[in-house]
Each structure stands twice: as C-alpha cells, then as structure tokens.
Amino acid sequence: EPSTPGLVRAIDYLSGYIHEPMDEAAKAGGRGRCRCWYFLSSEAGGGVPRWAAERGVSSAISNFFPAAFKELQRMRAAASLDSCQ
C-alpha cells in the first residue's frame, strides 16, 4: 500500500545501466567516450493508464542523463580541486 493516499507505487523488476567504452582512453580507464544503455522493466501499480506510465518513465529517463552529466562535471571539478591541495 502506498504511504501517501491517492498515489500508486510502481514495481521495478529489473533496471540498470551498461556503459561501453568507445575509445582507447575510456578502455584504459581514463576520460574518453562511452556509450550508455539504460534498461528498465517495471509495472505501474493501481489504475494508472499505460500511456501515463510510459510517459512518466520516458520523462524520468530523459531527465536522468542531463542530471548525471551535471553530477559528473561537479565530481570532476571537485577532484581537480582536491589534487591542488
């Protein structure tokens, strides 16, 4: 049962990411180009129409990648500051 009345929970059966290094630098563990796949198998609970569930998932996925890139930039900046101390 959802902890908030009026909301439904989704079941996440399987999800994850696969990162494939695309150039020699990335294959060696350095900074380089990578291809990222995201996979998800889930089921919306309650009476959520299929179109609404699919729209929510696609929105979450498309919002994730810019946020992940921003976090990567933040982490790289913090690491470069740490190396100067």
51 to 13, 44, 48, 74, 78: CA distances (angstroms)? 19, 11, 8, 35, 41
Q: Note the pLDDT tens digit of each residue in 3-37.
A: 677 777 777 778 888 888 899 988 888 888 888 88
What CA–CA distance (Å, rounded) separates 61 from 45? 19
pLDDT computed for residue 81 by the predictor: 64
Across the chain, mean pLDDT equals 78
Q: Note the pLDDT tens digit of each residue in 37-78.
A: 888 787 777 777 888 877 877 777 778 888 888 888 888 788
Q: What's this model's pTM, rounded to 2 decimal places? A: 0.47
In DSSP terms, 16 is beta-bridged to 39
